[in-house]
A and B are shown apart, each in its own frame.
Chain A
Amino acid sequence: DAGVIQSPRHEVTEMGQEVTLRCKPISGHNSLFWYRQTMMRGLELLIYFNNNVPIDDSGMPEDRFSAKMPNASFSTLKIQPSEPRDSAVYFCASNLGNTDTQYFGPGTRLTVL
C-alpha cells in the first residue's frame, strides 16, 4: 500500500493567491483528517470527514479555508485568498472509522509570501 498521498509536497505562493492541497487516503479507509502544524500552535485538527461527509469543521480557521471530499479516494483543502500567516505544514491522515490509529501523509509545506 502506498500510504496516504499528498500533493504538492511543497508550495510557495504569493499573498492573495488561491492554494489547493490534495490528499488521497489509504484505500478502504473511510475517515479522513486535515491537520495544520506550526511552531507556534503545534498540530491542529482543521476538519475531518467520515464516509465523505464533513463531521467536524470547528478547527477551520476562517471562511478562507474550505475542504471537500467528493469521493472516498480524494480530498482537497483550499485556501482563498492565502495570507502569510497560513504558512505551515498541512497533513492529511486517514483511518478506518472503527479503529483509532491514524495514518499520516508526508505533508505539504506551504509558504505564503
Chain B
Amino acid sequence: SQQGEEDPQALSIQEGENATMNCSYKTSINNLQWYRQNSGRGLVHLILIRSNEREKHSGRLRVTLDTSKKSSSLLITASRAADTASYFCATESGSARQLTFGSGTQLTVLP
C-alpha cells in the first residue's frame, strides 16, 4: 500500500514560478525523502528530512515536515523547463531500511 500520497497529482506552471507539492503519510517515520523521475528514467534522490527536522534547503529546493499532521511539502523556486518531471515522496519507518513511495506529482514547467 502507498504510505505517501502526493497532492496535486499533476501541476503545470510557467517558467520562473514556484511549484509546491505536498505529501501525506500514515505512520510514524524516521525520515522522508523526495525523489525526481524524468520520463523513461530512474529515480534521483533530491533531499532528505529527518523526523526531528522541520525544514531543509538545498539550492532551489525547500522541504518542510510537519510530523503532527503527517505531511511534507516540497517547494521548487524559480522553476525551469528542466524541472519538468515526476516528483515522489518516500518514507522510511521503523527498523526497516526500505522506502515506501507515494503516487507522485507530475510537474510540467512551460517555457
Contacts and interface: CB of A to CB of B under 8 A. Distances in A.
Contact of A101 (B45, B96, B98): B45
Given A100-B33, A101-B33, A48 B42 contact: no
A91 B43 contact: yes
A33 B45 CA distance: 15
A104 B42 contact: yes
Taking residues whose C-beta sits less than 8 angstroms from the other chain, chain B's interface range is: 20 to 34
Contacts of B98: 33, 45, 48, 56
Interface in A33-81: 33, 35, 42-45, 48, 50, 55-56
Interface in B58-104: 88, 92, 96-104
B77 to A, nearest CB: 22
A97 B97 contact: yes
B48 to A, nearest CB: 6
Interface in B11-53: 30-31, 33, 35, 41-45, 48
B42 A106 contact: yes
B45 to A, nearest CB: 5
Contact of A56 (B33, B42, B48, B96): B96
Given A43-B88, A45-B98, A100-B33, A105 B2 contact: no
Interface of B: 2, 30-31, 33, 35, 41-45, 48, 88, 92, 96-104
